[in-house]
Each structure stands twice: as structure tokens, then as C-alpha cells.
A = this chain, B = another copy of it.
């Protein structure tokens, strides 16, 4: 998560908190039973909707999306062009020594170096790509679902509060505060969904789209290397993946 993002995020939320403080003390927004309903309900229900393992992975991916460095497309294009040059100069077998953190690129290099037949390489890489998409999708799905369960439990909490209040209307003075407490769960549910769950789901989708793009660059690059195109043509072709101002 780069610095500019942090500034944007915190200055935005600071405005919200400042506005709330201008209206009164913040402690009227803290209500323990309301938290128990919204958080307990939301996290309890997510385990009915998804296996434990997938929820764990989703939270792991959620954290990683903020901490890990973003690899630029132009770096991937650069790597593929360099690999094309190596394979031209030193033969396909030289790809065995390519070092990379990207699992799919590693597999592609190995298969090319092993002289596997083109059809098999294409199928294998295609499986890798679909398989990675499938795994990434899970994280997005879990957070989207959290973003839909949280407001539902917010509303359920408000219904609970209203029913309790309406069943027992003896003291007219207590109606206002009781309503306030009833509404707090809806407030919690909306905040959780709007500020946390849905944006994280979106961030994970953005990440996935980006990794898909990287894999497509690798896929197209590997095809070109197999067809023994010269590195200049590979560079020309792969630069089409970049935005105009990223091409030099």
C-alpha cells in the first residue's frame, strides 16, 4: 500500500470522525450487545457459507493485498523480453536457469527447457491460469458475502431492539435512547460493509485482474519464444499490453 493511498484514506476518515465529534461525545456509538449481534452473527454465518479453510485464506489474501508490493506490468514484459533474448542466444535449454518468484513463469521455463511439445505447454499454462483465478476468486467472494451479511445482521439487530422496545412501552422517556440503541446495529453493519468488507473485496478483484494480466503476458511471451520469434518482435508484441505512456 503506497504512501499516497494512506494519506488519502486517513485524511478522508479523519473528516468523518471529526464531524461525528462535532455532534457530541463518541461514547454513545459504543454498545457492546450491538457489537456482539453484528460481529457474532456475521462471522458465525460466514462459516455456514464457506469452509473454514477458505475463510482463512480470504483473510490472509485480504491482509496481503495491502502489504505486498505491486508488481508492474512493464516489469513482467521486461522479464519476458529478457528471457526471449536468453533463449535466442543460448538456446531453449538455458531457460532452466531462469530465477523467478512467479510460479507460472517458472513452470513455463521448465517446460520449455524440457523440450515439451507446444500443445502440452499451452494446456499446462492454461490450467495454471484458470487454477490461479479460481483460488483468487475465493477471497473476493468471501469478502463480498461478508459485505452482504453484515448489513443484514445490522437490520436484524435493529428489529430485535425495536421488538424489545415496543413490547415494553411503559416509560415514554426511555423510547428515544432505546431507539438509538436499536439503530446502532444498523450503523455497525453499514460501516463494516461500506468501509471494510466491500472495498477489500474490490481490492482483491483489482489484484486478481492484475495477476491475470501478468499471466497473459507470460502466456503470450512463452508462445512467441516457442515459435522462435526474434526478441524485437516479442518486445513489439508484448508492449501492446502496456498503456501508451508506459511504452518507451
Report the separation of the CA atoms of residues A102 and B55 in the bound assembly, to the nearest whole angstrom: 27
Q: B163 and A29: CB pair below 8 A?
A: yes
Question: A63 at the A/B interface (Cβ < 8 Å)?
Answer: no
Q: A5 and B163: CB pair below 8 A?
A: no
Report the separation of the CA atoms of residues A24 and B181 in the bound assembly, to the nearest whole angstrom: 14
Question: A209 at the A/B interface (Cβ < 8 Å)?
Answer: yes
Decide: A176 near B169, CB < 8 A? Known: A40-B14, A45-B194. Answer: yes
* CB contact between A145 and one of B45, B125, B202 (< 8 Å): that residue: B202
Most buried by B among A23, A51, A173, A202: A23
Q: What number of A residues sit within 8 Å (CB to CB) of B?
A: 105
Q: B156 and A45: CB pair below 8 A?
A: no
Q: A149 and B194: CB pair below 8 A?
A: yes
Within 163-213 of A, Cβ neighbours of B (below 8 Å) are at: 163-164, 166-169, 173, 176-177, 179-180, 183-184, 186-187, 190-191, 193-196, 198-200, 202-203, 206, 209, 213
Q: Which residues of B contact A39 (CB under 8 A)?
A: 15
Stretch at the interface among A79-87, A92-100, A239-247: A239-247
Q: List 12 A-B contacts (CB under 8 A).
A: A16-B37, A20-B37, A41-B194, A45-B199, A50-B203, A54-B206, A103-B244, A124-B236, A127-B220, A127-B241, A134-B213, A163-B183
